[in-house]
Structure 1
Amino acid sequence: MEPRWWWRAGCWSFEIEDSQEQADIARSLGLAREDLDETLPIQAVSTGNTMLLVPIRSLRDLGNCRPNQNLLDDIFERNDVFRGGTGCYAFTRETIEIGAARAHARFFVGMGIGEDPATGSAAGPLGGYLVHHGATRVEPVNGVYKFVIEQGDFINRPSRIGLEVKGEPGKVEEVRVSGTSVVVARGVLEF
């Protein structure tokens, strides 16, 4: 049996409304401002580590992301609200699979890592964001929205992150993140 984990998310967020800042964020991803999904806001969110949630217009545009880490670092450094941020979770509501998937995302983390194939700590806030903005295209069952975030496909490490979000548009109460994992490396730390 594969391990399964759950995480309950607490989160704060801040919308990026300045059009120049939005254009700079798009440029840091190798995109134009027109490639952003303007029906949803860019938000800085934190569950302990601050990151940007960046809505992208299409799956094709998401696939065209080529992040410039220096530009992204500059954005995180110059803004007091999200100074010290850890990365950018770019997403689109277009998906590869049909079914429970409601968004496809890519996490550009920096720190020499490049792109993370599965980021539960970012998927949780994205799930709350999608429900908060009424953007899931999922009907809740007993007040809970259940859906999947696709991630990792563009780096040939496809991942599927399960989400259960309790609440309603405008009022998210709880986010639960689930998934299975596989061992990709082992090591020993000595102090």
Structure 2
Amino acid sequence: MGGADGQRPVRYPFRLVDVFSERPLAGNQLAVVLDAEGLGDERMQAIAREFNFSETTFVTPSAIAGCDWRVRIFTPGRELPMAGHPTIGTGVVLEALGRVRERTVFELGVGPTPVRLRPGWAEMDQRPPVFGPEHPDPAALAAALSLEPDDILGTGLPPQAVGTGFTHLMVPVRSIDAIRRLRPRLERWEAAMTAFPGLAAYCFAREGQLPGSDAHCRMFTPETEDPGTGSAAGPLACYLATRLPEGDGTRTFRLEQGFEMGRESLLDATVDVSGGRVTAVRVGGRACIVGEGWLDLPD
């Protein structure tokens, strides 16, 4: 194939991945563009718009000592400093291609990030938790989500901003039935989220649809829903371990997400607790490669 001027275009290989699922056509979609050294920021952003997944990653060698690969993460609109499912999916692709060891370190926007790998599975370290403010008006938040006030207040837990590299608003909901009723109301969202501008709401019920699950979750911005959010799974594990303590040690939470979208995701979020404080956070899950190809782009 020739370019418009007769020159051969540059080829960039890519893989399509379904993350937080062991079967195709579930989980959270991801495009991984490999050997992306020739791509500038604007071209990466244009490619992310072309794929139009929630995120696309671009893999290049890292110039930082101790890091094996630089992984840049783009939504269709902007670059992100970190995100969970892109890191997990990129790790699974690189492991399948033999480009990483069982333990590797990615250079993300937030800095060096250790990742552990097995075929079809990856786990990433996240930053120590930062606990932000509690929501001052849970009833207004409930109305913005098409819930009754007691759907949140009845949990006995407060909505709270928590981040482990990326901050989200943790929103406890009293039942899976209430979770299924969630519908963001644009006319109420802005007022309800005044104290949390730009944050998404990670809504969870402390029960599972599947055996062994600890929480059933949905992630909302006012206009979109995400089927599997690794950057929220870590904060939720920190929130639960702190609000519902069980002493020091290691706790793993199995989280369900995306079921209402037909994109079932299973996320494992693990925290180490010492002296009543979370000292380490890890998020992992399975992923499967569902497609491959290349982009033919002019030099």
TM-score range for the pair, normalised by the shorter chain length:
0.7 to 0.9
- Paired with 2:296 and 2:155, the residues of 1 have a C-alpha distance of 45
4+ residue segments displaced more than 6 Å: 184-187
SS for the counterpart of 2:139 is: helix
- Paired with 1:75 and 1:169, the residues of 2 have a C-alpha distance of 35
The alpha carbon displacement at 1:17 in A equals: 5.4
The alpha carbon displacement at 1:183 in A equals: 4.9
> Which position in structure 2 is the counterpart of 1:147?
253
Aligned match of 2:215 in 85, 91, 103?
Answer: 103
Percent identity, aligned pairs only, is 34
Q: Is the 8 A contact 2:123 2:282 kept in 1?
A: no
- Paired with 1:23 and 1:17, the residues of 2 have a C-alpha distance of 10
> Which position in structure 2 is the counterpart of 1:124?
234
Does 1:162 pair with 2:268?
yes
Q: Is the 8 A contact 1:62 1:92 kept in 2?
A: yes
> Which position in structure 2 is the counterpart of 1:53?
170
The 1:123–1:34 alpha-carbon spacing in structure 2 relative to 1, beyond 3 Å, is same
- Paired with 1:30 and 1:75, the residues of 2 have a C-alpha distance of 12
> Which position in structure 1 is the counterpart of 2:201?
88
Task: Give the AA of the match of 2:141.
Answer: I
The 1:51–1:189 alpha-carbon spacing in structure 2 relative to 1, beyond 3 Å, is farther
The 1:68–1:12 alpha-carbon spacing in structure 2 relative to 1, beyond 3 Å, is same
Which range moved further: 51-60 or 38-47? 38-47
Task: Give the AA of the match of 2:163.
Answer: S
User: Per-residue CA shift, 1:69-124, capped at 9, x if unaligned?
Assistant: 45323433x32xx3332x1100000111122x1111100134x5x11110000010
User: Per-residue CA shift, 1:111-142, capped at 9, x if unaligned?
Assistant: x5x1111000001000011111116xxx78x8
User: Per-residue CA shift, 1:23-79, capped at 9, x if unaligned?
Assistant: 111111111111114311110123344321000010000010011245323433x32
- Paired with 1:84 and 1:189, the residues of 2 have a C-alpha distance of 35
The alpha carbon displacement at 1:168 in A equals: 5.8
Which range moved further: 30-39 or 123-132? 30-39
Aligned match of 1:28 in 140, 144, 154?
Answer: 144
User: RMSD of the alignment, in Å?
Assistant: 2.7
- Paired with 1:181 and 1:169, the residues of 2 have a C-alpha distance of 34
The 1:25–1:17 alpha-carbon spacing in structure 2 relative to 1, beyond 3 Å, is closer
- Paired with 1:153 and 1:66, the residues of 2 have a C-alpha distance of 15
Structure 2: 5+ residue runs without aligned partners?
A: 1-118
TM-score scaled to structure 2, two decimals? Answer: 0.53
SS for the counterpart of 2:132 is: strand
The alpha carbon displacement at 1:184 in A equals: 6.7
Task: Give the AA of the match of 1:13.
Answer: F
TM-score scaled to structure 1, two decimals? Answer: 0.80
The 1:61–1:150 alpha-carbon spacing in structure 2 relative to 1, beyond 3 Å, is same
Does 1:133 pair with 2:246?
no
Aligned match of 2:188 in 57, 67, 71?
Answer: 71
Structure 1: 5+ residue runs without aligned partners?
A: none
Q: Is the 8 A contact 1:9 1:125 kept in 2?
A: no
